[in-house]
Structure 1
């Protein structure tokens, strides 16, 4: 008899099982920080040893203890007490948590680009069970972090853990993680080739990582992009710093974790590209007497206190350069809010800033199943010619139009219950958007029922300045051409067949019990 093969567990699954064993002493929301910092140390060590061996092979063995020879290749220099082999040698010792803290502190001290990126005196304060921590170290020790450098190991693990935490902590309580498929769509639409890129609520830095991958995929130069961001949660701020540092992405995330509204660390920034996924429908983000005269609202009404959606929009608008582009996510309610939100939305449209509104499918996020909206804003929507990554692109005047796109029926399933866009779908959506933007669009772009529609400002004003796509995109009646009498007869036949099958199954079950000597009469 052939032995049944068991499915090999993924790195994420193994890590989750090991981290989950710490449940007795660590809050669920802390797991990802515990694990990712250790993975960082393992990754840093693997890269350090790889570079050290290169130096020896090149006859430069005398320089293996010189940090400059590592930093020049975006490799972190590691003191002996920061190296993974030292940690594993002491994994079973009672003071292993203290040694991990010292390792992280030393790495940060020896590598200026890591300032503010790593946890400080973190592990020794968690009260971790020594044996369970040692077991977790063993699992991480088996990971070859250099096996597939393009597969974004930290990002994969972070995303997987967020999915688990969203379930463990309950919807709405966990952090929001922007799936790569959405970030890739935003990048393909706003095309961040060159200039300053900003994310006012950058989380673990996923927007920046995927932007750099966009540039690489389109054969651009990563050195042409400068990264600016801000993050409110201290541990997530450190994760972002670590996530970017590990990839050699220079960044300015502010001096510390801080609230973007109350402590804007990039007051004078004018960004060429803005990508963001702000907290949806954030309540009580300011008091009635706070931020009333904030310069970010200049030319608009002050955003309402009960929902931060329009506060985020105006923060983004204030940071856009004259020719800037922004792509950000909001809950669908922002498309049609009344009162102050309506007044701000009307002014945004009159200022010709709204380029496109894209409705996304449900179940794209781990922490919420709602459908959300991708807003695309542009600072200059007049006819102009732009040099873009070695190509000349001619844009037409779109000031009095807004493109509406409905993607609710797009996407493909993954991990059973979630939806993502395929690479081909992202390319198709972006191509349609760019065709609409550019000269000669009459030959390349067409309004398509149930997919897209280019609306004029006059049409939008007639609809009360609503940005709900279904008010503009044509939707065909599903009932047209349906012969209801025939349909009902088909359903009736199907129902009779199902009932007949159910009765036969019931008889077979009764006969089986009788044969076993258990009558049910």
Structure 2
């Protein structure tokens, strides 16, 4: 959700304070390890707070004579009923076992090892440390919630964390404020979780960035596809960013004028139920992050663990929306073992680069009227290595390329490789307010869009995203669109064929001077080598001429 300016300022200040404080407590732990400690505590705090909010609501209802839940003033019955799981799950509230509740953990966080503590079941035991208490809390949640089996962090004791720093980290998470304007706890904690994912990706470098797609890029792809209802699929879902943003898209684009707050909430929740979510992730650590992220957002999802290209977790799925940011230019992905796979409709993808394996996999899983957004390196738009040019040409000739967006550099924490967005559609026929776009493709050159948010990373503003999405949607609808030299161009299949099926937007929008920046290494390097060899040959020829002249002058050594 895109919040007002004053709320954005609140988030920026909160982000700075939380990260600086958390980083000071990191000690000697690698960011990749520390990440799970911090995010585990954020998860625990969120589910506990949601549980306590529902508990307070129930208590009021149980004590209200006008309410159907009224218990007649029986204190023992009240205590018993407040622990009935069904009262929470009926409202989609995550059930939190008593020994995992934040209040119990905070009450015992400062107890010295060796002292006695009373557990929620009234038994007394010797306190062994906050780390043990947290491990037990996480285990209790997993035992009570099958969806989170083997997902949560239970390494607090094993890592031998400094007790004082762990206690201060608990205080830091406990201190996240919830009383700012119209923001809800879910908004704030969800933002904090997402913020920490991004910061840890940056701290970890290349490996951390493998699972994190910048929020603005995720938002742009979701805004381009408009996933209002249907099946949403991400074959390399990372921490679940596309799923979270799809839910936010529904919230953001629901009509605020039609409903009062309560009715709007019901309408938004009803629309969310029209979305079903499917995903797959090969990295077990990242798969755990996705499960936690989606539970925090109360998003029901079927997320498989495994290598999507080699072990397709949804062989029969046909999705209405497919969104993904697969690893760029993935080599040695095992393609030689599945050359006869039914997903390779256009040609067998190269075993040395998985870009067009991902693309054909996503197209295979696209419903007859489905749309997909795929992030790839710029090389995918022009490379002719092995079968890549053949596949790209076949997809263009099948009229499935709807829009190409060239992105600016420095958007990603893990790579400086220039990237682009492929928007593909199984059908460009007129439908749902969109005109007939058959035989047409929109090219957008966004390499100069955005701003440098620090010395290293570039980002998009809300206005940037709106401009790019609006350009695309105006073109789709046929209203308010016109070609803008240097920015956007609506091209025909004949235009693309004339450019030998190269899809670099700079070739079409009139920015030829920018084109080489976005071309693939495999294309540019041979051209540069050939030119260098020509220059070497010319240099040798001139050297021969000079030698002959020197001999003529009597210098014949």
Which of 152, 158, 165 pairs up with 1:132? 165
- Name the residue aligned to 1:314: 360
Distance in 2 between the 1:12 and 1:244 partners? 24
Matches within 5 A, 1:453-472: 453-472=489-508
How far did residue 411 of structure 1 move? Answer: 1.7
- Name the residue aligned to 1:410: 449
- Name the residue aligned to 1:49: 52
Matches within 5 A, 1:136-175: 136-144=169-177, 148-149=183-184, 151=187, 153-166=189-202, 168-171=203-206, 174-175=209-210
Distance in 1 between the 2:251 and 2:172 partners? 32
How far did residue 107 of structure 1 move? Answer: 1.4
How far did residue 113 of structure 1 move? Answer: 4.5
Which of 76, 79, 83 pairs up with 2:101? 83
Distance in 2 between the 1:9 and 1:181 partners? 19
Distance in 1 between the 2:204 and 2:286 partners? 17
Distance in 1 between the 2:460 and 2:511 partners? 22
- Name the residue aligned to 2:247: 212
- Name the residue aligned to 1:330: 376
Query: Given the two structures, how large is their TM-score scaled by the length of structure 2?
Result: 0.76
- Name the residue aligned to 2:130: 96
- Name the residue aligned to 2:339: 292
Distance in 1 between the 2:310 and 2:279 partners? 15
The answer as to whether partners of 1:22 and 1:129 remain within 8 angstroms in 2 is no
Query: Secondary structure of 1:295's match?
Result: coil
Matches within 5 A, 1:218-367: 218-219=253-254, 221-254=271-304, 257-286=305-334, 288=336, 290-297=337-344, 299-338=345-384, 339-367=386-414
Could you report, residue by residue, the CA deviation over 1:136-179 in whole angstroms, capped at 9, with x for unpaired residues? 1121122236863364534544444543543x444466434222
109-118 or 266-275, larger mean C-alpha shift:
109-118
The answer as to whether partners of 1:231 and 1:260 remain within 8 angstroms in 2 is yes
- Name the residue aligned to 1:18: 22
Query: Secondary structure of 2:431's match?
Result: strand
CA separation of 1:456 and 1:11: change in aligned 2, threshold 3 A: closer
Where structure 1 has 5 or more consecutive residues not aligned to the other structure, the ranges are 1-7, 387-392, 479-521
- Name the residue aligned to 1:64: 82
CA separation of 1:159 and 1:296: change in aligned 2, threshold 3 A: farther
Query: Given the two structures, how large is their TM-score scaled by the length of structure 1?
Result: 0.81
How far did residue 53 of structure 1 move? Answer: 0.9
Query: Secondary structure of 1:10's match?
Result: helix
Over the aligned positions, Cα root-mean-square deviation in angstroms equals 2.5
Distance in 1 between the 2:307 and 2:176 partners? 36
Query: Secondary structure of 1:86's match?
Result: helix
Could you report, residue by residue, the CA deviation over 1:165-210 in whole angstroms, capped at 9, with x for unpaired residues? 43x4444664342222222211221110110000111111111111
Where structure 2 has 5 or more consecutive residues not aligned to the other structure, the ranges are 1-11, 64-68, 70-77, 114-127, 255-267, 515-557
CA separation of 1:417 and 1:160: change in aligned 2, threshold 3 A: farther
Distance in 1 between the 2:248 and 2:512 partners? 39
* Pair 1:186-2:204 in alignment: no
How far did residue 395 of structure 1 move? Answer: 2.3
The answer as to whether partners of 1:22 and 1:128 remain within 8 angstroms in 2 is no
The answer as to whether partners of 1:196 and 1:228 remain within 8 angstroms in 2 is yes
